[in-house]
Amino acid sequence: MNDNGKAREVINDGQGLETLIATAAPVQPLTIAGTSIFPGKRLKIEIPVARLPTGTTLSLPVTVIHGKEAGPCLWLSAAIHGDELNGVEIIRRLVNPLKPSQLRGTLIAVPVVNIFGLLEQSRYLPDRRDLNRAFPGSLRGSLAARLAALLMREIVGHCHLGIDLHTAAIHRINWPQIRADLDDLTTYALAKAFGAPILIHSGVRDGSLRQAAAQRGIPTLLYEAGEALRFDEMAIQRGMEGIQRVMITLKMLQLDVPNSVPVPLETRTTKWIRASRGGLWHREVHLGQRLMLRQRLGFVADAFGDHRVEIRSPVAGMVIGHSQNPLVHQGDALVHVAQLTDS
């Protein structure tokens, strides 16, 4: 715990955003990894993580913008999966022009959490562990556990809320979506403020950053958009504007951002539709498309177009993700559908 710990305890009392705004930490120097950042300052810190087998020291790059006026402390994290790059760019565009004088409260940005995975263009750590299953971690555990524990201690431990940025896994693409615990009133209000096209209620997964933060009473949004190892302009823009809308809602920023976004759709159930045979997948639906019950999503056939099997949606809803790879084995995930009762 830290100086802000006391303020955090009352965030999830059901009063929603007003409580979060009102419980802003008093302005005082913030110390991260032994470096103090004074109010009104912006600083880039390199937190040492580990020494590579080559002897090179690897460090976690962090930018801190510490406003002069008291306000919430927000962390932004990206590339917890090392090949998910949209969030890195979202953070760059958002943080670069931001001055401490424009900010009420504090922004802590970690654009590349899984520095090992980024180097390897891989989702995982060198030992094939998934960092987002290693939280809250341990400073004496595996590499994943150590990195997770470092992030919890040096970043999350200072914050009142967080936004974790992801894309789909390799060979898949996601429609911009917020995954969060919509049963938590504060988290729900923040998710709506973000303004992504769809909100997906997601019970926290074991070992995720979101779960570890939630256990400390810190509301966390997970933004998913685009695909691994690609920049996607729409996904980046929607993500940047969403974060800005959250910050404006919390009175951290005053900016002109498109506020007239449609009210997000909400769902509690999503389903991957899978290939009933192997072959080449011919997709006929697109991201964000509304689907009727039994609507055709495409077909799988052999290389000559024979032995064709139509794939239909067993639920009404919306396409929130799909495979990008036409080559499929039986059972492979093809289309991710959010179930919507009003479709």
Near Zn ion by CB under 5 A, which window of 50-58, 165-173, 275-283, 291-299?
A: 165-173
Strand order through the sheet with 279-283 = 309-312, 296-301, 279-283, 327-328
C-alpha distances in Å from residue 307, one per residue of 82, 87, 295, 311: 39, 41, 20, 13
DSSP state for residue 127 in the 8-state scheme: T
> According to the binding rule CB under 5 A, does residue 336 interact with Zn ion?
no
Question: How many residues of this chain interact with Zn ion, rule: CB under 5 A?
Answer: 3
With DSSP H G I counted as helix, E B as strand and the rest as coil, what are the percentages for the chain, rounded to 5? Answer: 25, 35, 45
Closest distance to Zn ion from the beta carbon of 176 (Å): 14
Name the segment binding Zn ion (CB under 5 A); options: 15-23, 43-51, 76-84, 212-220: 76-84
* CA contacts within 13 A on the Cβ side of 262: 6
> Does the footprint of Zn ion cover residue 166 (CB under 5 A)?
yes
Question: What is the b/e burial string over 65-89, where b = at least 16 CB atoms within 10 angstroms of the residue's CB?
Answer: bbbeeebbbbbbbbbbbbbbbbbbb
> Which residue, 81 or 129, is less far from Zn ion as judged by CB?
81
**Does residue 81 interact with Zn ion by CB under 5 A?**
yes
Nearer to Zn ion, 23 or 122 (CB): 122
CA 106 to CA 75: how far, in whole Å?
A: 8
Residue 8 engages Zn ion in binding (rule: CB under 5 A):
no
Binding window for Zn ion (CB under 5 A); candidates: 37-45, 164-172, 276-284, 305-313: 164-172
Using CB atoms, what's the residue nearest to Zn ion?
166
Nearest-approach distance from CB 179 to Zn ion, in angstroms: 10
Closest separation in Å from C-beta 165 to Zn ion: 9
Q: What is the contact surface with Zn ion in residues (CB under 5 A)?
A: 81, 84, 166
